[in-house]
Structure 1
Amino acid sequence: MTNADDEADAAEANGHPIGETRWVLPGGHVPVDSTGPEPELVSHETLCVLNAGSEAATLEMTLQYANGREAGPYPLTVAPERVRHVRINDLIDPYAPPLGRDYGVVLESNVPVVVQWRRQDTRQAANATLSTVVYGE
């Protein structure tokens, strides 16, 4: 076990679980075009959720669009002490998100989790990947 593991265990044992229960990302936009082989070089956005706690995380993700339309909630679960990556492009039910449209995400969880957002933009031959931690409260 690493020092980070020890610190995470100590934080949870002291009643200070790691993460937050509500997360917001305002800058979603999955590019329409891609270059390169599929599926690894398809433009996409991925929600990365870490559940460092000892209880399963039950989450609901809602997408909100610039035109006022809302999609979701999309139910997600993350087992205790696990990470889950969810590609926005792969969401189907209750609504397959359209590509090329600006959207924001509100993610609510029953237990504290840590959320990261990753975008892979392969519209040009010089591919780009960016990642950021989302705003949590």
Structure 2
Amino acid sequence: MKTYGKLDWAFSAGRIPFRSTGKEPDFVSHDKIAILNTSEEAAEIELFIFYEEEQPSEVYEIEVKPKRLRKVRFNDLIDPVAMRLERNYSCYIRSNVPVVVQFSRLDSGSKETAHMGSMAFPAEP
């Protein structure tokens, strides 16, 4: 199988809503990425989080096994530090092998659930 994707990705419109009206865990407001690794090698992923009014957080590290998909909720990122809710943030994603990244958001802060998805931007190094 051919390896698809890019090594570097970014998105700039992150914000994890504090309020949720849905049942846990499925309908808790969250931001999420889906990472597809079509290569024969494990993808070692680094997430760099940038805030508007604060210094960048430390680097989050995750692994995506070969020929697998992994979904990561930003709400669940707690090591090295928990993600901040209700703060605008951006994310730069770096991988050791080409991957495909999709960003999505579930905002269940009102009874009318809104779900938005978009592709992250593949950045050329």
Q: TM-score of the superposition, structure 2-length normalised?
A: 0.95
Q: Does 1:77 align with 2:63?
A: yes
- Cα-to-partner distance string for 1:95-118 (whole Å, 9 max, x where unaligned): 101100000000000000000001
Q: Does 1:112 align with 2:98?
A: yes
Q: Does 1:96 align with 2:82?
A: yes
Question: Unaligned regions of 5+ residues in structure 2, if any?
Answer: none
Q: Percent identity?
A: 38
CA–CA distance in structure 2, aligned partners of residues 57 and 36 of structure 1: 33
CA–CA distance in structure 2, aligned partners of residues 21 and 119 of structure 1: 23
* Aligned-residue CA RMSD (Å): 0.9
Aligned to 1:65: 51
CA–CA distance in structure 1, aligned partners of residues 33 and 58 of structure 2: 15
Counterpart residue identity of residue 96, structure 1: A
Q: Which has the higher helix share?
A: 1
Aligned to 1:22: 8
Aligned to 1:128: 114
CA–CA distance in structure 1, aligned partners of residues 103 and 55 of structure 2: 22
User: Secondary structure of 1:93's partner?
Assistant: coil
Question: Unaligned regions of 5+ residues in structure 1, if any?
Answer: 1-8
CA–CA distance in structure 1, aligned partners of residues 20 and 75 of structure 2: 13
- Cα-to-partner distance string for 1:41-74 (whole Å, 9 max, x where unaligned): 1100111100011111001001000014111210
Counterpart residue identity of residue 59, structure 2: P
CA–CA distance in structure 1, aligned partners of residues 112 and 27 of structure 2: 11
Counterpart residue identity of residue 42, structure 2: A
Q: Does 1:46 align with 2:22?
A: no
CA–CA distance in structure 1, aligned partners of residues 6 and 67 of structure 2: 15
CA–CA distance in structure 2, aligned partners of residues 81 and 72 of structure 1: 28
User: Secondary structure of 1:89's partner?
Assistant: helix
